[in-house]
Amino acid sequence: MSGVPRLRRGRIAVPALLSGIALALGVPAAMAATSATAAHPKVIATVKVGSEPSEVAVSPRTGAAYVVNRGSSTVTVISARTNKVAATIWIKPGMRNLAPFAVAVSAVTGDVYVTNFAVTSSAKGTVTVISGRTNKVIGTIPVGIDPGQAFISPKTGDVYVTNAGASITSSTVTVINGRTNKVITTIKLGGSSGTAQETAISPKTGDIYIANPGKDSVSVISGKTNKVIASVSVAYASEPSREPVDPYQVAVSPVTGAVYVVSEGYHTGNLVTAISGKTNKVTAVIPNEVGYFGGSGQIAISPKTGTVYVGNDISGNVSVISGKTNKVTGFIEFPDGYLHAEDVAVSPVTGDVYAETVIYDDTGPGGVNTGGAFWVINGKTNKLSGHVIIKDGVSISQNAISSRTGDAYSTGYANDVSVISG
């Protein structure tokens, strides 16, 4: 829907009875966390940014963090060396009713790409290009209606922007040359990519994978020809209700090249579909037996082990899937009072897993969310190794982790960014 941010689903304080859902679903008792588990993580800086920060991306070349501030139409640049504001860039979306939304940084050129979507109408969006060397706006590129995120090929540097379109059948992908910042082509997907428009690019082949909730499928685009070369169904054939499975998240293993798709159908329960990155055929359907009723969150894959991690929003834990067998090998539990384990990411430096939970206090009438907790999970043992509480909430995304230091950048509700040690 135009004008509605799609990067991260909002959270709503839930009744205290939801804290018992994990037990109702047969989840093992949560293990206790102690202050002696580890000295990390720590908040090493809190940086004031602009109004309504919506996303952070860290440059793999310089380590600088770029924060999109939707409310103030600015991008805040945080220095990796000082953890202080190095620049504030005013975004000129090209139309008065456009607002900045998502950000990505090219590993090839170091340039920064900010998508801008329509606030009040189904107008076409734009992409603002910022030089990674000068922190100056160097271009504004027209894209399609209702653009979501920008994804950048690590092989070619080309930029792929998904556009939801004005109707369920009009979604497109705008392809931008990462060196000239000119539009190469616009690819018609032939079906809705939905409000999430989640995309992943294979670091092995350069092919692009886009989730299509409207068609229960994944579109595959060749990174060489920019043509749709396959549409892979992820529908659960054995599900008698024939309800939509709603593929939402997609990720590609940097170890095997396999593609993993998280579906969050309300009636079907969560599924993870594995697709061969060589044949674009489904190789496994993995029922996620804990997170039901639209409760899936992010998916992250370890670049060191190939292990797959899926955050389970409602059941409040993280599923662990073997990248070798495509079987669920266990669940990572959090202590009582820590709910909504939606966000997960993997440090490219240590291989540890970062997870986020909401802190929920049910002692008062109705209960209330009192902040967020940032957790570190040992990537070798899959055990909790430490956490830190951030009062104005925690958000985690893979782009917001520095590939140089492993530090994570989390946007907060107080118009600030917490820098968490890696």
Report in angstroms the alpha-carbon separations of 40 from 117, 354, 374, 383, 393. 38, 12, 10, 14, 18
What are the strands of the beta sheet with 408-411, ordered from one edge?
43-48, 416-420, 408-411
Q: What angle do CA 409, 410, 411 make, to 5 degrees?
A: 125
**H or E element in which residue 23 lies:** helix 21-24
Q: Coil, helix or strand for 271?
A: strand
> Could you give the maximum distance between any two Cα atoms of the chain, in Å?
58
Q: Is the peptide bond before 41 cis (omega within 30 degrees of 0)?
A: yes
Report d(CA 317, CA 388) in Å as an integer: 17
Per-residue pLDDT of the chain (422 residues; tens, 9 = 90+): 333 333 443 333 333 333 333 333 333 333 333 333 345 799 999 999 999 999 999 999 999 999 999 999 999 999 999 999 999 999 876 666 788 999 999 999 999 999 998 877 778 899 999 999 999 999 999 999 889 889 999 999 999 999 887 666 678 999 999 999 999 999 988 655 444 468 999 999 999 999 887 778 899 999 999 999 999 988 765 454 556 677 888 999 999 999 999 887 654 557 889 999 999 999 998 876 554 434 567 899 999 999 999 988 877 889 999 999 999 999 999 988 888 888 999 999 999 999 999 886 655 554 445 689 999 999 999 999 999 999 888 999 999 999 999 999 999 889 999 999 98
Report d(CA 149, CA 25) in Å as an integer: 34
**Which residue shows structure tokens 């060196």?**
179
Report d(CA 57, CA 77) in Å as an integer: 10
DSSP state for residue 32 in the 8-state scheme: P
DSSP 146-164: SEEEEEE-TTT--EEEEE-
**330 neighbors 318 (Cβ within 8 angstroms):** no
**H or E element in which residue 419 lies:** strand 416-420
DSSP state for residue 211 in the 8-state scheme: E
Task: Kindly report the length of the chain.
Answer: 422
Tokens representing residue 366 in the block: 């109705």
